[in-house]
Amino acid sequence: MRSSRVWHPFTQHALEAPMRRVLKTEGAFLFDEDGRRIFDAISSWWVITHGHRHPVIMNSIRKASDQFDQVIFAEFTHEPAEALAEGLIDLSPRGLQHVFFSDSGSTAVEVAIKMALGTFHNRDIKRNRIVVMEDAYHGDTIGAMSVGARGIFNAPFEPLLFGVERIPFPEAEHEQISLDAFEASCRSGKTAAILIEPLIVGAGGMKPYSPSILHELRAIARRYGCLFIADEVMTGWGRTGTLFACEQADVKPDILCTSKGLTGGSLPLAATLCTEDVFEAHLSQDRRKTFFHSSSYTANPIACAAAVANLSVWNDEPVRARLAALSDMHTHHLRRFAGDPRFANVRKCGTIAALDLNVSSGGYLAEVGPRMRKLFRERGLLIRPLGNVIYLMPPYCTAAAELALAYDAIDEVASEIIRERAP
All structural domains of the chain, each given as residue ranges with its CATH number in brackets, are: 55-316 (3.40.640.10), 318-421 (3.90.1150.10)
Pairing of β 191-196 and β 227-231? parallel
For residues 49-68, average pLDDT: 98
Q: What is the pTM of this model?
A: 0.97
CB of 32 closer than 8 Å to CB of 9: no
- How many Å apart are CA 423 and CA 397, to the nearest integer? 42
For residues 18-27, average pLDDT: 96
Q: Note the pLDDT of residue 1.
A: 53
For residues 167-196, average pLDDT: 97
Mean pLDDT check: name the lowest of 84-88, 92-96, 240-244, 360-364.
360-364
Q: What is the dihedral of CA 398, 404, 406, 408, to 10 degrees?
A: 180
CA 273 to chain centre: 16
For residues 118-136, average pLDDT: 97
- Provide the pLDDT confidence category of residue 2 given band limits of 50, 70 and 90: low
Beta bridge partners of residue 132, listed in sequence order: 166, 195
